[in-house]
Amino acid sequence: MNIISTFVSTVAVILLATAASADLAKPSGTVILTIGGAVSESNRAPSNTFDDAFLSSHEYSFANAAAFDIAMLENLGTVTTKIKAAPWPRAVTFEGPRLRDVLAAAGWTGKTITTVALDGFAVEISAADIATHDWILALKADGAYLGVGGHGPAWLVYEVAGGTASAEDESRWPWAVFYISAE
């Protein structure tokens, strides 16, 4: 009886570990976000200087990465928030998945992430800060997808009380985000 219980427990642990380490589905559309580094879910090959020339030019590389297209990100669920920041000409309605859901889909349980914009601008965000704020990986602003050359492909913001952002809040919100380095 003891041997059978041990066997059943061992099989259950193996099955749970296998399910938890299953790779993400591969994107069927254009990849707009890659999370590389300390992620347990991977759906693409390690980076290389030829295929990942843009990332390499920003001096990022990875062995494990989770790549997402718009549909994959939207399938994580989306939220909407309206924000006005002092330098903006109007309030903007943002829509996208919660950052914590995106990171969970990639299997991140680390201490920090660094978001990287197309121009190389990088913002480090701690796990504590992710837990403190309701961060949104905005894919849309005022109902339209964010385009490259504007604020896209993604703009990272968080919900603010009363919908009015301080200058400090606004300075922490990178736009044109295409890569997250997970540590």
Average pLDDT per 10 consecutive residues for the chain, totaling 183 residues: 41 36 83 97 96 94 97 98 94 98 97 97 96 96 96 96 92 96 97
pLDDT of amino acid 23: 66
Token pair of 86, please?
């002092």
Q: Across the beta sheet with 122-126, what order do the strands follow?
A: 65-69, 31-37, 177-182, 112-117, 122-126
Token pair of 176, please?
């044109």
pLDDT of amino acid 155: 98
User: Parallel, antiparallel, or unpaired: how do β-strands 177-182 and 79-85 relate?
Assistant: unpaired
CA distance 153 to 142: 14
pLDDT of amino acid 12: 37
CATH classification code of 28-182: 3.90.420.10
Is the model's pTM score more than 0.95?
Answer: no
CA distance 32 to 99: 14
Nearest-CA neighbor of 172 among 115, 132, 127?
115
pLDDT of amino acid 86: 87
pLDDT of amino acid 149: 93
